[in-house]
Structure 1
Amino acid sequence: MKKYLTILLCFGFIISINAQREIKSEEGFTPQIGVIVSMLNDMKNRVENTVKNLDIESTDFLLDENANSIGTLVLHLAATEKFYQVYTFENREFNKEEQEEWGMRMSMGNEAREMHKGKPISYYLNIYDEVRQKTLEYLKGKDDVWLAQTPEGYRMNNHWSWYHVMEHQSSHLGQILLLKKRIP
């Protein structure tokens, strides 16, 4: 007999996972988009669960002079997702205003290290939440045909773009976990 675990996600969606951790399509989305949403939400939950109890000092911790803080990394995840919203849903890159708001968050570096400190982890997670809510709104209006499309002039289809967002989050979660282990 298989045992099932039901997890209530912070967005009000429910995902069922059996003991083998099967991915199931989220309700309210087409089948393949529902799978992408399920995986995106799982990855976001992992990031949030890793950082949600950090104090400001831990959120700002820098491993060395070239490292990024956990807060900056969470903003980077939000900025990357924001970029792929524009890229896949509007078939363009950031305009000037969006670049001013999100560009530094995408590239991180010295300026970001200086600008993004002294804020509670909730500040960063709220921005991440706002971006994700917009992603979910956009994805509700799309179907699996859209997911398979490669916009004219682009090098990747929409499915690969959202896979990339997910694997990007996974990669930076590894950095966050490393940083968290090194916090004095």
Structure 2
Amino acid sequence: MNIDYRIRSVDGYTKNIGELVSMLEHTRAVTLQEISNLSVEQLDSMLSGGNFIGALLKHIAAIEKAYQLISFQERDFTKEELEIWKDALYLGE
């Protein structure tokens, strides 16, 4: 996969929002490229800082879910949703 590292405004958005979308797309592409060949064992291996790669990826997904709820539904997690996502949100703390 060849990644374009230039940040350019994405068509269909205002300039600034388009640049943010470009940054998010870039981050996703780099993350997917970096983990695409990792085994389950590697994803479950502990990093020197104390977190598993898989746990950090789930944390990213949980934070994205929180931002989606706040931005698009103008609400926080329900009790049921928080039960599903809390370990990933707080990384077990």
Which TM-score tier does this pair reach, normalised by the shorter chain? 0.7 to 0.9
Residue of structure 1 aligned with 2:42, choices 41, 58, 61: 58
Answering whether residue 83 of structure 2 is matched by residue 100 of structure 1, we say yes
Following superposition, which runs of at least 4 residues in structure 1 exceed 4 angstroms of deviation?
none
Q: Which runs of 5+ in 2 are unaligned?
A: none
Residues 108-130 of structure 1 deviation map (CA, whole Å, 9 limit, x = unaligned): 127xxxxxxxxxxxxxxxxxxxx
Shift of 1:88: 1.7
Shift of 1:92: 1.9
Task: Give the aligned residue type for 1:34.
Answer: G
CA distance in structure 2 between the aligned counterparts of 1:81 and 1:43, rounded to whole angstroms: 13
Residue of structure 2 aligned with 1:82, choices 65, 77, 89: 65
8 Å CA contact 2:47, 2:53 repeated in 1: no
Task: Give the aligned residue type for 1:85.
Answer: Q
Root-mean-square deviation over aligned CA pairs: 2.2
Question: What percentage of aligned pairs have identical amino acids?
Answer: 39
Task: Give the aligned residue type for 1:76.
Answer: H
Residue of structure 2 aligned with 1:32, choices 9, 13, 16: 16
Answering whether residue 56 of structure 2 is matched by residue 73 of structure 1, we say yes
Q: 5 Å matches for 1:138-153?
A: none
Which structure has the bigger radius of gyration? Answer: 1
Whose strand fraction is larger, Structure 1's or Structure 2's? 1
Report what 1:142 is aligned to.
none
Partner-residue secondary structure (3-state), 2:23? helix
8 Å CA contact 1:68, 1:109 repeated in 2: no
CA distance in structure 2 between the aligned counterparts of 1:46 and 1:63, rounded to whole angstroms: 19
Provide the aligned length of Structure 1 versus Structure 2. Answer: 92
Q: Which runs of 5+ in 1 are unaligned?
A: 1-5, 8-16, 111-184
**TM-score normalised per structure 2:** 0.82
**TM-score normalised per structure 1:** 0.45
